[in-house]
């Protein structure tokens, strides 16, 4: 005799960088509909949990192993629950989601992903900068320093620095000295760098400097975690930058006839 199963599902939701208004409308609706929520308590703003229906069971994954998280998903979805797994920023950056997907695939538990505003974009907003300035850089590298989680040698910060592209470095501010040392393998010492701690939170902090000055500033401010390190000439282009073609009156494109002949 076949056992009757009611199928629930798991929705991975990007919570955004901190400000509870920076979750997407779709993510917020998923939280409203959730029968159970598993959230990354170390970084997700708990204010977001107020969106849930009163009495919704909430689990802080900071205290759980992968096995415990997927057991909750397994048991909940067997009871027909919609489970929201709330990750900080956008789940696809350092979210450890693939290992959860693999488990759900194995168990044939359906899941979907709702993206979020990554802290990298919240940090750029905080300093009011554009990563992609014409003739300065058209590339943004998202990376981290090797820590307890290794980084493949071919992607070492020193190697990536050789591109002198715009760069955002996650998970590394606690070792700002090593970050600067590796960056100096590729960028000139006068290159601007910004450290944005707790972007979009009420206690957000912004430090601006160069590769020569930033280490001292970070240490003086006592910033040891939850910060983005942004580096590159996009922060302060010493010799200016080229204006966009798209909005240049002489330039013709699909939607507009320019004045140049």
Binding residues for ligand SAH, per CB under 6 A?
17-18, 43, 88-90, 93-95, 118-119, 122-123, 170-171, 196, 198-201, 226-228
For ligand SAH, the closer CB: 44 or 72:
44
Q: How far is the CB of 225 from ligand SAH (least distance, A)?
A: 6
For ligand SAH, the closer CB: 164 or 226:
226
CA nearest to 76, candidates 64, 65, 85, 66:
85
Q: How far is the CB of 179 from ligand SAH (least distance, A)?
A: 11
For ligand SAH, the closer CB: 199 or 235:
199
Residue nearest to ligand SAH (CB): 89
For ligand SAH, the closer CB: 55 or 202:
202
For ligand SAH, the closer CB: 95 or 232:
95
Which whole-number Å values give the CA distances from 198 to 35, 50, 204, in the listed order?
A: 30, 21, 5
Q: How far is the CB of 243 from ligand SAH (least distance, A)?
A: 30
Contact 211, 189 (CB under 8 A): yes
For ligand SAH, the closer CB: 4 or 148:
148
Sequential DSSP letters for 73-102: HHHHHHBT-EEEEEESB-TTSS---HHHHH
Q: How far is the CB of 168 from ligand SAH (least distance, A)?
A: 9
Q: How far is the CB of 1 from ligand SAH (least distance, A)?
A: 45
**43: region left, alpha or beta (phi > 0 left; psi from -120 to 50 alpha):** alpha
Residue entry with tokens 């006839």: 257
Q: What is the 3-state secondary structure (H, E, C) of 155-207?
A: HCHHHHHCCCCEEEEECCHHHHHHHHHHHCCCCCCCCEEEEEECCCCCCCEEE
Q: How far is the CB of 158 from ligand SAH (least distance, A)?
A: 19
First-last CA distance in the chain: 78
């Amino acid at each position: 005799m076949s056992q009757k199963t009611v199928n629930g599902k798991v929705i991975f939701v990007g919570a955004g960088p901190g400000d509870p208004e920076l979750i997407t409308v779709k993510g917020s609706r998923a939280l409203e509909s959730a029968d159970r929520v598993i959230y990354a308590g170390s970084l997700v703003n708990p204010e977001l949990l107020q969106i849930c229906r009163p009495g919704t069971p909430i689990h802080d994954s900071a205290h759980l192993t992968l096995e415990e998280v997927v057991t909750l998903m397994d048991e909940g979805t067997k009871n027909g629950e919609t489970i929201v797994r709330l990750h900080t920023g956008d789940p696809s950056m350092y979210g450890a989601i693939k290992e959860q997907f693999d488990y759900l695939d194995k168990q044939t538990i359906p899941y979907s992903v709702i993206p979020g505003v990554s802290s990298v974009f919240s940090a750029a907003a905080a300093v009011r900068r554009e990563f992609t300035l014409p003739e300065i850089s058209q590339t943004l590298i998202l990376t981290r320093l090797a820590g307890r989680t290794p980084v493949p040698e071919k992607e070492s910060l020193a190697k990536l620095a050789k591109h002198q592209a715009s760069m955002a470095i996650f998970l590394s501010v606690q070792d700002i000295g090593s970050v600067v040392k590796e960056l100096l393998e590729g960028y000139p010492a006068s290159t601007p760098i910004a450290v944005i701690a707790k972007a979009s939170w009420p206690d957000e902090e912004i430090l601006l400097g160069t590769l020569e000055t930033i280490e001292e500033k970070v240490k003086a401010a006592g910033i040891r975690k939850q910060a983005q390190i942004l580096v590159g000439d996009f922060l302060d282009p010493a010799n200016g930058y080229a204006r966009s073609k798209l909005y240049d009156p002489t330039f013709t494109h699909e939607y507009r006839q320019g004045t140049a002949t």
